[in-house]
Copies of this chain bind each other. A is one copy, B any other.
Amino acid sequence: MLLDVICNLDFHFTPEDLQTALADQGCNMALTTIYRNLPSLENAGIIRRTTFMEEQERGASTYEHIWGKPHHDHLLCQNCGQKIEFQYDALEVLQEEVARQHGFTLLRHHMELVGLCPQCQESAP
């Protein structure tokens, strides 16, 4: 059930979002159970924790469904909270380059770009 609900969510979600989505399907799962299962799903490569430094002040961490989807990073609007997913291979290549320069083997990265979306640039200039 948990897996099913996760696969049908297309946006980033918190453990509580999952509980709500499950409840909508008639499945009442304790939050504790959800918290207990998230690490397994993460290790299995089905979800990824995407807690953004930008929104970290207070509040639960967020995850996203990544099974079968290509890697992407995020662009966030500081004002409206909108999240845009992007892929930019040249960036990934440069990250590898930085790691190599320091003799590191790069395993993964977390990159978030924070700015103002087109709409928010106008309304709050």
Which residues of A are interface residues toward B (Cβ below 8 A)?
49, 51-54, 56, 61, 75, 77-78, 84, 86, 88, 90-91, 94-95, 97-99, 101-118, 121
Q: Is the interface of A mostly helix, strand, loop or mixed?
A: mixed
Decide: A102 and B116 in contact? CB cutoff 8 A: no
Q: In the complex, which residue of chain B has the Cβ closest to the Cβ of A76? A: B104
The CA-CA distance from A88 to B102 in the complex, in Å, is 12
Which of chain B's residues have a CB closer than 8 A to the CB of A53?
Answer: 49, 51, 53, 110
The CA-CA distance from A51 to B113 in the complex, in Å, is 15
Distance from A31 Cβ to chain B, minimum over Cβ atoms (Å): 18
Decide: A103 and B117 in contact? CB cutoff 8 A: yes
Distance from A101 Cβ to chain B, minimum over Cβ atoms (Å): 8
